[in-house]
A = this chain, B = another copy of it.
Amino acid sequence: MQQLSASLKAEGKTIGFVPTMGYLHDGHLSLIKTAHAGAQVVVVSIYVNPAQFGPSEDLSNYPRDIERDQLLCRENGVDIIFYPDDGQMYPDAYATYVDVEGLTQHLCGATRPGHFRGVTTIVNKLFNIVQPDCAVFGQKDGQQALVIKKMVKDLHIPVQIIIAPTIREKNGLALSSRNKYLTPKQRKEASVLYKALQLGEHLILDKGELKASVIIDEISKLFQNKPDFTIDYITIVDTLKVQPIEHLSGEIMLALAIYVGKARLIDNIIIQVPRDQIPEIH
């Protein structure tokens, strides 16, 4: 892959890169489309990265279907699939890790210790192998997007990072390979995740509510009396340091992680809090 990229670059070709864990869905296909718009050659990596899974997480059950993925890549004009194995990516005595501090402390970083260290390490490795001009990630993994942009800036990695919007089912459920774990009933009910984000947006933009604790309390009520749903977190952070904030201002991310049956689903929206909004007194 590294030699192939080097020879493509020597020919003056630009490379767009979409790193994935496979089991591709319309969300991935939208990332591929974005990559095509930004570069002449599109590389998709398919690798379920063990370093980003905790010991009690779903690494062994994570859905895989390489033949279907290959077909989807072909149909969507992908030029190169990079499909390494664990022995190539983490050989014996592997020892090097990349950490982004602070931004990985809360949200998924709090409930999945080591997850982002695994993500930033594999993305750094994949960038060095694929040598892309641009790389496309989904807004669905909102904290990941902020962390990768920070890593690229801090380490001066010469790759343009493009964040593509979340693709949703008609009922609002964000597309995710982990939706496969849902029963048909859960899949229908899981639309409440997006409804919760919309409620937050409504409270902030239409009602002028700027206290995070009030917004989170209101949102949490949507998950009450739902035995299949367990809140992992519902949090509002700034998008620069990714720290929880109480008094909202500037650009914020409302993010949640909810267990729905066996599946842990995440979703988020970015909101620009209007400057001239006058906070209500409670």
Contact = CB atoms under 8 A, between A and B. Distances in A.
Contacts of A151: 96
A89 B146 CA distance: 20
Nearest to A10: B12
A65 interface: no
Interface residues of A, number: 30
A110 interface: no
B93 A100 contact: no
A93 B240 contact: yes
Contacts of A241: 93
A86 to B, nearest CB: 14
A2 B99 contact: no
B154 A96 contact: yes
A279 interface: no
B2 A95 contact: no
B100 A155 contact: no
Interface in A90-133: 93-103, 120, 124-125, 128-129, 131
Interface string A4-46: 0010001010000000000000000000000000000000000
A120 B99 CA distance: 12
Contacts of A128: 155-158
Contact of A96 (B93, B98, B240): B98
A123 to B, nearest CB: 11
A64 interface: no
B96 A2 contact: no
Interface string A232-245: 00000000110000
